[in-house]
Structure formats: structure tokens, C-alpha cells
Amino acid sequence: MIEAMIAALANMSDPAVIAAICLGTLLGVIFGVIPGLGSVIAMTLIMPFTFGWDPIVAMYVFAGIIGTASTGGAVPAILLNTPGTIANVCTTFDGFPMTRRGEGGRAIGLAATASGLGTLFSIVVLAALLPVAKLLILWFTPPDFFWMVILGLIAVTFASRQNMVKGLAAGGVGILLSLIGFSSVFGVRRYTLGSEYLWDGIEIVPLVIGFFALSELMVYTSRGGTIAQDAKVNLGGMKQILRGALEVFQHKAILFRGSIIGTVIGAIPGAGGAVANFLSYSTAKQASKNPELFGTGHPAGVVASESANDAKDGGILLPTLTFGIPGNGEMVILMAAFILHGIQPGRDLLVNRLDIVWAIILGVIGAQILTTIVILAGGAWLAKISLVPVKYIAPFVAILSLIGVYAVRSNIWDVLLAIFAALVGFFMRKAGFPLITLIIGFVLGHLAEEKFTQSLQISQGDYSIFFTRPVSIILLIAIVSMLGWSLYRSANPARANSESN
Amino acid sequence: MLLVKAKNFVRLAAVVVLITSISVFSAGCGIFGGDDYPSSDIEWYVGFSAGGGFDTASRIIAEEMSTDLGTNVVVRNLAGGGGRRAAQEIHKAPADGYAISIMNMPNQILAEKIDPQGVNFNNLSWIGRAVIQTYGLYTAADSKFNTPAELAAAGDDIRFCLSGLSGHSFLVASVTTEVMKIAWNPVTGYKGAETQAGLLRGDCELALGPMAGSTLSAVQSPDFKALWIYEDDRFAPLPDVPTVKELGFPQLGGGKFANNGLVAASPGTPDDIVKKLSESFDRALQDPDVIAGINKKGMAVSRLSPAETSSVVDGMSGIVSEYLELVRAKSQSR
């Protein structure tokens, strides 16, 4: 293992490897910045071109894309209230309010640095756990997974504390939407209305783009003006960027907790960056002495969100590299790339191809460092976007977003779904319904059903399977504690805050 | 009178010129034959996302056919419905040979039988078979089960890790357990390497799948063992694994449960166009680079003529119809 790492480090001085990392970084940032595109499309597009390349060099390109797309996605999340990827949704909650008061550069500095540190943390954890990863993957069973998903759904209640009824209602709608489609568990169609389009269920990218990107465009188009409320505000240039970058270290606990959450959630196949992002934000808000500041442009909110969504990169590589189990769309494409280059994913990778494993690990690190530097250096210039009148930005972002939606499956109905979601999202915003709880319900709903059913099939109908494993018990205690603390806090807010202090 | 005759002559001449022009123009467009086919790009529909096995095999073959036919054969991913979207597109495409599609059989036949959408696979103009993947049953290396008799005598229900209650593996599991008299339960939601993790964790006792790619690698490793192959002859990569025929169950053999990548044009495509396509397709499948590229994806090239392919489809339709009620009964009893 160590020898392979040293050999890979030495390899990084090869001009071809440096060029590959730069290419991966460039693609990751561009596809991350443009809403709806993301790393999956970037990897899919570049894959055929890598046919015939040295497999190691090709892996550096893919690692670069994986490591940087969600960092790039923070930029539109902060400046335009439009998450570049689904993993950047919570960054909009505090990043955009900071832009509105002329602190977009500071938010970008916070995001870029938190992302970089989150990724580095998770990659170090990945490298340390590789020798025992197989045992960890096997240790986590479907009932444990079920409770982890329930934990994520419980966190919906914290995100909707301002209006719990509306938040839970939106979460419930999200869960119902997740059930649409052909159920391989039960072998029947559900709520497809006879439509072949809905046979696969609702695709998440059109939903997220519609709810978050397009509906937001409608909101500020109807308002007019510029994104930064005061067009004469001094954005502060590089000084503000660096202020944000250094400010991350004032939130060390949040940074550390977000990195752990991102790494752990990332390692759970299917959970993904959105859940990591959301859980980290929710727990940071719950644990804060001033939870009411979250959502108003609080730097801690940006740190919590961005550290987690990039820390998932290391976590998600764990089941993929050790077992060949892809945790999300990126990993599915990565595994396809392995096979294209004659590399067998799974057990064979860790036994015979450690050079590939280290290429990916070092590629993610290298690309993330490069991205952080590039975004910090360009942040002052990027922040000026907030001074451009929305009538110029809106059509441009709308077209790019819809192109991104179409690119997923080449299906025009996805575009129509995105537009419909935009209309619904616009009215939901006006009525005060939080969209994030709907998305979390959507992401986790079908996972909860799948793992619940799987667990009962394993136990052949015996419900005690949910209460007998140590991991399940720990998660159950965590869920009960979270609910208990939340109820206590609601009943005794002043006392709860003084106890926190 | 002379004027009337002149007018009639002019009318007659105009009609002759018109018919001649249409004939010449049509011949140039190839309407009356495939002499100029193909005169534009051919679209190759793949009903799965880019990067998968059938997608990559299609791209490799399409590139070779482009050179052979002198026109672009462009792969277009129409992912959705487990391949049904592409199947529906090819089913209603014009019968002019400018659209072909690869299909995963018998998976798609089973899906159509369970949830009919009007696609009749027997009506498609079959071009040939690109790839085949042998099906096998495997378990964890430390499993106490080694033979069908031991499984039948188990007493408790044997759990199978499967993707769902309507796919190819569920069909094979239903038929296998019926024929071998094995009491069983499905555990669903397992795909690819998750199946192997499930076996090692003890979520289930058995799994089914194509013996290719990462599954073949896993079965060849010390962690797993294959119990049998659904063929009549031994499988070269797993020479020590018995066939169902050797175990006394020939009705499960003959490759009838293998995964096939079959290529077709839309119903009613003229025979001469199908012939051109199938000859080009067959030449592509004999190219060493194409074979190597497909093998790299963990699949084996296995050529069939259009008539043989059509016969295979008929056979698969028959098998699926034969066991459809069994599959439905098993899925509803869960």
C-alpha cells in the first residue's frame, strides 16, 4: 500500500498527469458551475475520448471531475441562489443572503476553503480505511441503512422549524413523489397514469433544476434590479475573498462535524451529497447558540454545507473502490470508465491495481487544491455577477439549465417537467413552503421503502431485525435523542440556549 | 379536329415525361430498391445509459459498421423503462433501415409480457446477435450448499438476492426452484456488486447472474463459488462448474436463460436492406479489434444470422409465455 502511494506521488510530476488533473479540474468546475450539468455529464462526455489513453492518466481526469464539480456548484448557489449541483442546495440558504448584502466574495472564500478542507479530510479517511473498508461495508446492513435514512428524514423537521407543518407537508409530498414509477420491489407500476415517461419514476435533475434554479429565476425576474440589493455596494475584492477563506477556521467544530457527516453519508450507497449537505446544515443549526441566524447569511451555514458536500467525495469512493458498489451516478460512470480501460472494479482493484486507486485518491486531492486556488483567485471577479441586472442573467441561466436537464436522458419530457416544477416551486416559495424538505423527502423516500422491505425479506417477516444489531441501536438512540432535544428546545428555548452556552 | 389531336398528344407526352421523371428520381432516392442504401446516417438506439455493457458494445460495432457501410452509424441513448423506450422507438420507426436497436433479451420480452406496451418483438426485422452472457447460480464460498439436492432438502426457505420481482433473474429463480423443488424467498434490491456484499453478509444464500465482468471475477475469487451454469456444455472460464444438464435438469439448459444482445430494425424493413445491415453487422463482429473491445467489457461475441436470431426470439417468447403465470404467481405471493 505504502509503496503504491509513493510510486503514485512520484508519478504526479509527469506532464501527462499534470495535464490530466488540469483537464479534470476545468471540466469539473465548468460543469459544476452550470446548473443541471454536473459531474455525471462531464464524465460521460469525456469518457469516449479517453479510450486508448493510459488508464492512470484517464483516472486522473475522472478524479479531477469528481473532486471539483460540487465546489464549482457553490458559485451559482452563492451568487444566483441557484445550486450548481444538488449537493449545493443548502449553500444557497446563507450564501445567497450574503451576496444580497454585498458579501458574495466573502461567501465564495468560505465555500472554496470549506470545500477544500472537507475533501482533504475525507480523502485522508478513505486512504486510512482502505485496508479495512471491506469489513466496514459488510458490517453495515439493510436495517442499519434504514435507520440512517430515517435519521435523514427526521432532520427534515429541523430544517422546517420556522413552519413545521409546511415543512413536513412538503417532505411528505417529496416522499410520495419518490414512489412514482415501476417498483422492482413489488413488481408493479405506481401512480404512472399509464405514462411510459413515469415508468422509471421522476428524475431528480429536472426536479431540482425546476424547483431551485428556474423558480428562483422567476422570483428575481419578477423583482427586477440586480442580485445584490445595493448596486453601489463595495464587493471588497480579494480582501473579502481572503477574509472568507480565513474565517472558516473560526468555525472549526462545524467544519470538522460537516466533514465527518459528509464522509459517513457519502459511504452509504444512494444517500449522496444532497443528504450530506442537508444533515450537516441541520445539525450545525441545531447545535448553534444562535440558530435563528441560519438562513440570514450566516457564514457557519456556508461552512456546514460546503464541508459536507465535498467530504462525501472520499466517502463515496470507499464502497466503489473496495467492492465495486457505486454509491451515486458519478461512481456508476467511474466504474464504466474502469471497464473501458480494462480494469475490473471490486476486489481485483485493491489486490492488483493499487496504482489506479492511488491515482484516483491523489487526483481528487490535486484537483481540489487547484480548484480552491482558482476559485479564490477568481472569486472577486465572479462576485461581480451579482451586480449584473437580472434581465441579462436570467435568460442565460435558464437556457443553460434546460440544456443541462435535456442532456441527462435526451428526453424532452424532462425539460417540460423542469418547467412544471419551476411553476410549482415559484408558488410554493410565495406560500412559504420550504423546497429543501420536498427534495430530501424525494431522495430518501424510496430508499427508506427499499431498505425496510429488504430488511423484512432478509428476516422473513421478523421485525426484530430492526432492533437487534448494535449499529441499528446506536442510530435509534441518535434519532430519539434528536427528537427529544428538538422537543425540549421548542418547549424551553431560553433554557436550552443557556445550557448550550 | 387537328387542334384536339394536338392537345391530346401534348397531354400524353406530358404524362409520359412525368412518369419517366418520377421513375428516375425515385430510383435515385432508392424508393424502388436498396441500391443506394444507405444514403444518410443510420441511428442505433440503445435503451440504456451511456457507459454500460450493451452501450459500449454498440459503439464499438457501430464504428466498424460506419466504415464498412460508408455512412455514419450513430449511437443514440434512449434510456428509460429498462430498455422499453428504445424498443418502442424502433417498433414505430419507418421501415427504411435508418434506425436499428440493440435489445437485452429475454429481459425485455419478460417486461413486455408482464406490462404490455404494444411492442411485438416477433415482428421486428432481426439483424443478428451481438453478444451473449452465460447465466449461472453462485453463493458464498463458505456456504453449506453445493448441490440441488442439498438445497431442496434445506427445510427453511432459501433466500435469493435479486434485483426485483420482474426481471430476468427472478424468472430464472422462479423456474429453477420450481423444477428443482426448492422452497425459496426473494430478497430484492440487489444489483451488481451489492449482490456479492449481500451474500457475504448473509442477507441471502444464493444469487443468479450473467457470468461476465465483475460477477465472473467474483465467482473466480476465493470468496464465492458457482454451483451450476445454465448450459449443456461446460463454460470455459469456469471449467469445474457443472451444467444443469449434468445435474439432471436438461430442461433448464441449452442456453435458454442466457443474456442476449440482439439487434433489430423496425418491422417491415425490406429484405435487401436487412441483408445489407446484417452482412455489415456480421463483418464487424468478425473484426479482431471489435471482438477484443467487447471481450474487455466482459461479454462474448456470438454471431447469429437474421433467421437464427428470429428463431431465438421465438424460442424466448415461448419460454417466457410458458413460465409467465409461474412468475406472476411467485411475485404476487411475496
Is B281 a domain residue? yes
Q: How far apart are CA B57 and CA A50, in angstroms?
A: 16
With beta carbons under 8 A apart, name residues in chain A contacting B159: 457-458, 460
Interface of B with A in 81-100 (CB under 8 A): 81-82, 84-85, 88
B205/chain A closest Cα distance in angstroms: 10
Q: B101 and B74 in one domain?
A: yes
Per-residue confidence at B226, pLDDT binned at 50, 70, 90? very high
A24/chain B closest Cα distance in angstroms: 18
Between A134 and A355, the higher pLDDT residue: A355
Q: Of B5, B130, B114, B165, whose CA–CA distance to B57 is shortest? A: B130
Is B7 a domain residue? no
Is B232 a domain residue? yes
* Domain extent for B46: 42-133+258-322
Q: What is the CA radius of gyration of chain B?
A: 25
Q: Is residue B281's pLDDT more than 90?
A: yes
Q: B211 and B62 in one domain?
A: no
**What mean pLDDT do residues B166-172 have?**
88
Interface of B with A in 60-79 (CB under 8 A): 76-79
Return the CATH number at B201.
3.40.190.10
Is B19 a domain residue? no
Q: How far apart are CA A359 and CA A466, in angstroms?
A: 39
Q: B88 and B180 in one domain?
A: no
**What mean pLDDT do residues A296-300 have?**
93
Say whether A457 and B185 touch across the interface (CB within 8 A): yes
With beta carbons under 8 A apart, name residues in chain A contacting B108: none
Q: How far apart are CA B263 and CA B244, in angstroms?
A: 28
Last residue of a domain, one of B256, B273, B296: B256
Say whether B187 and A410 touch across the interface (CB within 8 A): no
Say whether B188 and A454 touch across the interface (CB within 8 A): yes
Last residue of a domain, one of B239, B256, B273: B256
Q: B249 and B208 in one domain?
A: yes
B51 → closest Cβ in A183, A196, A333? A333
Q: B151 and B248 in one domain?
A: yes
Complex prediction ipTM: 0.79
**Which tens digit of pLDDT belongs to each residue from A71-116?**
988 998 998 888 888 889 899 999 989 988 888 889 999 999 999 9
Q: How far apart are CA A150 and CA A275, in angstroms?
A: 11
Candidates B75, B85, B156, partner chain A, best to mutate (most A CBs within 10 A):
B85
Return the number of other C-beta atoms located less than 10 Å from residue A253's C-beta. Answer: 11
Q: B188 and B101 in one domain?
A: no
With beta carbons under 8 A apart, name residues in chain B contacting A326: 192
- Collapsing DSSP to helix, strand or coil, A369 comes out as helix
**What's the domain count of chain B?**
2
Per-residue confidence at A499, pLDDT binned at 50, 70, 90? very low
Q: Residue A252: its pLDDT value, please?
A: 94
Q: Residue B183: its pLDDT value, please?
A: 93
Grid cell in block for residue A396? 442565460
Return the CATH number at B55.
3.40.190.150
DSSP A9-57: HHHTTSHHHHHHHHHHHHHHHHHHHSTTTHHHHHHHHHGGGGTTS-HHH
Across chain B, mean pLDDT equals 87
Say whether A337 and B51 touch across the interface (CB within 8 A): yes
**What mean pLDDT do residues B150-162 have?**
91
Is B210 a domain residue? yes
Candidates A50, A183, A323, A460, partner chain B, best to mutate (most B CBs within 10 A):
A323
Is B36 a domain residue? no
Candidates A185, A334, A412, partner chain B, best to mutate (most B CBs within 10 A):
A185
Per-residue confidence at A383, pLDDT binned at 50, 70, 90? low
Handedness of CA A375, A379, A383, A388 (dihedral sign): negative
pTM of the predicted structure, to 2 decimals? 0.79
Q: Residue B29: its pLDDT value, please?
A: 45
**What mean pLDDT do residues B205-222 have?**
89
Candidates A149, A347, A453, partner chain B, best to mutate (most B CBs within 10 A):
A347
Per-residue confidence at B28, pLDDT binned at 50, 70, 90? very low
Least trusted range by pLDDT, from A7-11, A73-77, A140-144 = A7-11
Q: Residue B248: its pLDDT value, please?
A: 96
Is B252 a domain residue? yes
**What mean pLDDT do residues B14-31 have?**
52
Last residue of a domain, one of B228, B256, B284: B256
Between B22 and A43, the higher pLDDT residue: A43
Q: B110 and B80 in one domain?
A: yes
Say whether B114 and A325 touch across the interface (CB within 8 A): no
Q: B222 and B196 in one domain?
A: yes
Q: Residue B255: its pLDDT value, please?
A: 87
| Cα separation values, B162 from A348, A480, B24, B272, Å | 23, 33, 59, 43
Q: Residue A500: its pLDDT value, please?
A: 45
Contacts of A271 (CB under 8 A, 6+ apart): A148, A149, A152, A265, A327, A443, A444, A447
Q: B273 and B182 in one domain?
A: no
If phi > 0 it is left, if psi is from -120 to 50 it is alpha, else beta; for residue B188 that is beta
Is B118 a domain residue? yes
Whether B157 has its CB under 8 Å from any CB of chain A: the answer is yes
Q: How far apart are CA A66 and CA A61, in angstroms?
A: 9
**Which tens digit of pLDDT belongs to each residue from A147-191?**
988 887 877 666 665 677 888 888 899 999 999 998 877 777 899
**What mean pLDDT do residues B11-33 have?**
54
Per-residue confidence at B15, pLDDT binned at 50, 70, 90? low
Furthest CA-CA distance within chain A: 67
Whether B329 has its CB under 8 Å from any CB of chain A: the answer is no
Q: How far apart are CA B328 and CA B324, in angstroms?
A: 6
A458 → closest Cβ in B52, B203, B296? B203
Q: B244 and B182 in one domain?
A: yes
**What mean pLDDT do residues B223-248 have?**
95
Question: Which of A313-322, A381-390, A450-459, B190-199 is the most confident on average?
Answer: A450-459
CB pairs under 8 A between A and B: 130
Whether B181 has its CB under 8 Å from any CB of chain A: the answer is no
**Which tens digit of pLDDT belongs to each residue from A236-295?**
577 888 889 999 999 999 999 999 999 988 887 766 777 888 889 988 988 888 888 888
Give how far the C-alpha of residue A405 lies from the chain's centroid of Cα atoms, to the nearest Å.
Answer: 17
Return the number of other C-beta atoms located less than 10 Å from residue A357's C-beta. Answer: 22
Q: Residue B33: its pLDDT value, please?
A: 46
Q: B241 and B156 in one domain?
A: yes
Q: B103 and B50 in one domain?
A: yes
